[in-house]
Amino acid sequence: MFVMHQNDFYDRSEGTANDSSPFIIQEDIHFFHAALVLIFVVTATYQVATAGILIIFYLLTLLYHHPRFRLKCILPLNYLIEGACAAVMVSAGILATRNRPNSWIVWLGAAASFLAFAWGSAFKDYKDIDKDQIAGNKTVYTLAQVQGWPMQNMHRIVTFILAGLMVAPTFWLHWRGAPVGRVN
C-alpha cells in the first residue's frame, strides 16, 4: 500500500498520474514513512533478519520513486528494482515462518520472484506507453518505439516470455514430484 501511494504521489507531482488515481498529499507520504519505520522497529524486536529485509525493500522503493533518484525512469534499473522488491518481500515472507526452510528454498523463491516481477513489470508498461514517453521513462516499449519496432510485435515478445516465466515453475514443481494439479 505504501508503494502504491508513493508511486501515485510522485507520478502526480511529475504530471503523469492517471486521472483516476487517488489524490495523495505530502503529509500522507510522511505518515507512511513513519508507519514503516514503526513496523521495522516492531519487527526487529522479534525477527531481525525479516526487519533487515523490510528495510532493504523500503530503500529500494525510495530509490525507485523519490524525485531525487527516480530510478523508475532508467532502463534496466526500473525493472531490476521491481524484481528486487519482489524478491526481498518473498524472502521476508519465507524467513518469517516458524519453521525456517533450507536456504536453497529462500534463494529459489527470491530468484523466481525476481525474474517474474522484473519481466512482469515490462508487461504492465504497455498501458502507459504515451505517459512514459511524456515523462521520459525508459521502458522496453519506449525503447522499441525509438528503434521503430511495431508495438504489437514487442508486446507479443514480452507476453511470450512472461507466459514462459509463469508456466516454468509448474513444470519444475512437477519434475520435483510436487502434487501439481492433483485433486484428492
Residues 6+ apart with CB under 8 A from 51: 40, 41, 43, 44
**Which residue is listed with cell 530503500?**
59
Q: What is the torsion angle, in degrees rounded to the nearest 10, for the CA atoms of residue 102, residue 103, residue 105 and residue 108?
A: -170
Q: Cis omega (within 30 of 0) on the bond before 76?
A: yes
Q: Region of 75 please: left (phi>0), alpha (psi -120 to 50) or beta.
A: beta
pLDDT tens sequence across 132-166: 888 888 999 999 999 999 988 999 998 898 888 87
Average pLDDT over residues 17-22: 54
Residue 110: how many CB atoms within 10 A of its CB?
21
The pTM assigned to this predicted structure is 0.74
Is 60 exceeded by the pLDDT of residue 22? no
pLDDT band per the 50, 70, 90 thresholds, residue 170: confident
Who has greater pLDDT, 85 or 41?
85
